[in-house]
Structure 1
Amino acid sequence: MADQSDEIISRLRGISSDEKSEMGKMKCRIDDQARLIMMLKKRNDEYILANMALDKHSIELERQIEELRDKLEEEERLKDKIEELRKTIEQLKTLNIQWELKEQELNKRFLFENNKYENLQQELSSQYKKIQTLEKLLESNENVKEKFFTIGTSHLIPRESVSSCGLTIIDHENSNRTNSHSTFKQTERLATDAFLVMH
């Protein structure tokens, strides 16, 4: 190792001044190139760092763009939902109006049917009263008929004239005319009352 160093030193001592001058120039060039290389390396490092920063910033911008795109899509979806809700509200309003009209129609029909039912109730009540009156008239007519016995086909005599032992006719002709006239009057009156009740 020492021999090699000595050999290098001896060689350097053996270089002429011209060679030394040429070597100095080369050394200056090498130094310039080294400085240039260092400057370029520094610039390259700065460029790499700037590039990394730009990449990072670009990634951040892309992330923000993606978020904005998602927000925009969400806003579009919300806009579509709002439009659907608006249409639904319009449909509900239309249905509400239709239901209100139907309800009004049903209320009118209910009032009409209710009035019809009340009129029918009144008519039934009136008919019931007429029936009661007719029943009373029929009962009265039956009571009148029970006061007489029919003899043959046209002779009526009072029940009081009938004895417990048999039939006794008192003043047959006069009784016949009187009873027939009375029965006719009662029947005529009953028919008139029934006609008035029914009308």
Structure 2
Amino acid sequence: MSQKVRVRFAPSPTGPLHIGGVRTALFNYLFAKKHEGDFVLRIEDTDQTRYVEGAEDYIVEALNWLNIPYDEGPGKEGDAGPYRQSERKGLYREYADKLLASGNAYYAFDTAEELAEKRAEHEAQKETFIYNWHNREELNNSLALSEEETKQKIESGEPYVIRFKALENEELDLQDEIRGEIQVNTKVLDDKV
């Protein structure tokens, strides 16, 4: 038995809905409706430094004006809510803790300035800075720090992110719906926040 098709559109409320977002929303909406499925709107508002007051309302108004109505989302609650990423932090924390406990994630305390400096150093050498297996143990994170130092930073309220610990230099064979079978070497992937 096949499951009902459910697609989501997850714009950031950082300003007006741009044409690329409209295109994505339209394709997702048309795909869902073709398969008698649901089109879900989930607001990606976790980066509060870029949040623009009124942008979420503008996104909803734009979708309605374009006649791309969503089936579930803010104001149209369903079983998969909440529909703002910031309201799902408890759920995400639960899984982040599991990743940390299993060794598949780690705490990173690098400041924006430290990372900008690393990027500039690499650019000066005509290289791209990638935060992953080849340098993560030299950066400001729980893999390079002692357990006590990490605990002290967290307890003192030092800002941090949790990064996935990507595999070290492995070839992944993946099945892509559009491109078919593809290979990706993890050396080009960064440890995502």
Please, what TM-score do these two structures have when normalized by structure 1? 0.16
More strand by share: 2
Please, what TM-score do these two structures have when normalized by structure 2? 0.16
Structure having the higher Rg = 1
More helix by share: 1
